[in-house]
């Protein structure tokens, strides 16, 4: 670009991110039409390359698991599965939530989640929990049963589940950590 200072440089300029969250790339990239399967790690070219999208479920991206020693990122999700309102008159609700993982790395036990009531007056924290089990790649936990007391005076328009609320886990997608029940609770 003409507005950039013109200085003579030789070699390759490598860019990175300040907080170290970019995924590492494969150490070899042989051509514009690159795919993981059309060049071997030693730079040799296979006589017949496998279909990259059939083997790695990608087009021209690098292999997300081979570069950094076999690990890739998980992607923690949450969902509110069921809400029992039978004890609303006592100020008690029961909520079942599940944590899932649509990433390619398992998640160890200890992931946190928060459940809040959304009211006309704002968000009211109800529960902060730690997931009791791991969440395997491509799976959902059996579920966590929560008994929440003291909700009798709340005008609950919705419930909001936030997984990994403190961003302790490096994930594929940090923007899918919120799930809602989608309706009011104990509004009768």
Does residue 70 register a pLDDT over 60?
A: no
DSSP states of 110-158:
T-EEEEEEEETTEEEEEEEEE-SS-B-TTEE-S-EEEEEES-TT--BSE
Q: Top-level CATH class of 76-180?
A: mainly beta
DSSP states of 6-60:
-----S------TTS-SPPPPS---STT--GGGS-TTS---SSPPPHHHHHS-SS
**What's the pLDDT score for residue 24?**
64
**What's the pLDDT score for residue 2?**
56
Cβ contact 137:87 at 8 Å: no
Does residue 67 register a pLDDT over 50?
A: no
- Mind listing the pLDDT tens digit for each residue in 10-54? 777 767 777 766 766 677 777 777 788 888 888 899 999 888 777
Does residue 66 register a pLDDT over 70?
A: no
Delimiting residues of CATH 2.60.40.10 domain(s) in the chain = 76-180
**What's the pLDDT score for residue 16?**
73
- Mind listing the pLDDT tens digit for each residue in 88-140? 999 999 999 999 999 888 898 888 999 999 999 999 999 999 988 889 888 99
């Amino acid at each position: 670009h003409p507005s950039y200072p013109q200085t003579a440089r030789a070699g390759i300029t490598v860019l990175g991110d300040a907080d170290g969250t970019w995924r590492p790339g494969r150490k070899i990239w042989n051509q514009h039409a690159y795919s993981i399967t059309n060049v071997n790690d030693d730079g040799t070219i296979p006589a017949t390359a496998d279909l990259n999208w059939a083997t790695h479920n990608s087009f021209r991206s690098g292999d997300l698991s081979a570069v950094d020693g076999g690990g890739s990122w998980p992607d923690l999700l949450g969902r509110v599965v069921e809400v029992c309102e039978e004890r609303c008159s006592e100020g008690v609700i029961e909520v079942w939530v599940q944590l899932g993982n649509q990433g390619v790395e398992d998640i160890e036990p200890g992931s946190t989640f928060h459940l809040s009531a959304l009211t006309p007056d704002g968000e009211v924290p109800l529960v902060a929990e730690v997931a009791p089990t791991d969440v395997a790649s491509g799976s959902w936990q059996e579920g966590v049963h929560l008994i929440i007391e003291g909700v009798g005076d709340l005008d609950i328009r919705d419930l909001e589940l936030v997984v990994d609320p403190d961003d302790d886990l490096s994930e594929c997608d940090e923007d899918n950590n919120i799930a809602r029940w989608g309706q009011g609770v104990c509004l009768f």
